[in-house]
Amino acid sequence: MRISKEDIFRVLVRFNPWWNGERPINLPTWKRAVIREIREWRKEPPTGRALMLSGARQVGKTTLFRQSIVEMLEEGFPSSNILYATFDHPLLKLAGFDAIVESWREYVPRAEGPEYLFIDEVQSVEGWGVWIKHQVDFETNRRIAITGSAMTLAAEGSESGVGRWTSLRLSTLSFYEYLQIRKTQLLPIPEVSSLKDIFSKTQEELTFLAQSPGAQQLPAYFNEYLLRSGFPQSAQIDNIDEAQRLLREDIIDKVLKRDMTALFQVRRVLELEQVFLYLCMHDGSPLNMKELESGLSVNRLTAGNFISYLESTHLIYKLLPFGYGKQVIRGQSKIYLADAAIAGSVFLKGRSILDDTLAMGHMAETALFKHIFTHYYTKSFRFSYWRGKNDREVDIIAESGTRLIPFEVKYRKSHTNLADLKGLMNFCEENSVKNGYVITRDLSDIGILRLSAINTVIAKIPAPLACYWLGWMEIKP
């Protein structure tokens, strides 16, 4: 089907108001931490590489592109050399890449300097990998930033585009970003440059820090964060029941029922939904495929495919067991939802979940993992969990080369002591780990535990402070 350049341009001009001297409207004033990396890419792009921004639906990828464009315009970049297009629009999807670029260049005269193309939902067009490869290889004065599915990226990239893009993964809002988007007025909170700072402080200093007026405000906001979610649209809704309903509709109706069909040709949507609900009920737990298969009457191959699709659309994270070879192959994967509020929202539990200590512990652990993942993944860390003898385990391990950073979550009212940390102690002893972290619930449960027998020091940090600091570290100057 041939679409005229005039029709294409009529659509493009609506998405590119700067061509007429206007600015995008209805953009939030707050900005995600990852915009710094987008800024660095557009100012000093790696030779021969596009930028790939991936993340779950509704996490703010388009907003980041539009905010980046506004920054460029404010810096004096020629508006005629900036193109934004989304293949969510049916006409642009039918037209394809070359027709869009030709229409842009025919109706908008090119200025001096490089061109920047910001393209949303690139995987919707067949052959996108080949097109981007051609662009970065031969159009050396053109910079391209795209959003799309990680699995589609990997599949097509393995054939046509290896080494042609730099990937950025956008998680849901950190606790710190959530407070910013909610315009929360907080009293001053003591800052740390890294979690390692905790080890240099005395017990008196840590107690004083946790008792600061700003820190004392955090637990109530953290509970609401766990309920309302880190998806920007839901996070801004005051009514928690409404926020959860919106999140449920976005995930169940749009991702499972629409995106999965479009991206992966899923036809057995009911079975996919059942698998996802099972994962919501077992958030933060090792995945028992045998139980899933028998309980849902879904064969293992189908269930495994569904889980891969959910991972590729960024609705879940999958951790392998710590170790190598048979330890990993024979072990069970551990599943975390992309956001702590997803399970409660899917089941529409509202504020009633606050009375469920076990569920709140799972949600806090899920929130912590997301913060750890966001903080460490750009630094070439991989993530796993450890299970030893007598079912002793460590919830999360961040690993880079010989460096191991274990995290154990003890989100409960009673204070944590060494007797509660047998799994963490075993792991540190077996792997000669000198420092680890325990994430607790109450602000009073903060401090240092010294395991003198194995020369290991453990820092106890309350979850609201740990997540706040990890989020703040991503945007600090």
Residue 424 has pLDDT above 80, yes or no: yes
Residue 213 has pLDDT above 70, yes or no: yes
Residue 152 has pLDDT above 60, yes or no: no
SS3 call for 403: strand
Domains, in order of start, for the chain: 5-170 (3.40.50.300), 176-473 (no CATH)
The arithmetic mean of pLDDT across residues 405-412, rounded, is 96
The string of pLDDT tens digits covering residues 84-130 is 999 999 999 999 999 999 999 999 999 999 999 999 988 888 888 88
Residue 330 has pLDDT above 50, yes or no: yes
Q: Residue 151's pLDDT is what? A: 47
SS3 call for 317: strand
Identify the DSSP state of 356.
Answer: -
More confident: 206 or 1: 206
**What is the band of 323 on the pLDDT scale with cuts at 50, 70, 90?**
confident
Residue 153 has pLDDT above 70, yes or no: no
The arithmetic mean of pLDDT across residues 348-365, rounded, is 94
Residue pair 333/287 in contact by the 8 Å Cβ criterion: yes
Count of all residues that appear for the chain in the document: 477
H-run or E-run covering 43: helix 35-43
Q: Which two tokens stand for residue 275?
A: 């698998």
Of residues 477, 269, 237, 441, the one with CA closest to residue 357: 441
**Residue 169, beta-bridge partner list:** 54
**What is the band of 435 on the pLDDT scale with cuts at 50, 70, 90?**
very high
**What is the band of 149 on the pLDDT scale with cuts at 50, 70, 90?**
low
Q: Residue 326's pLDDT is what? A: 63
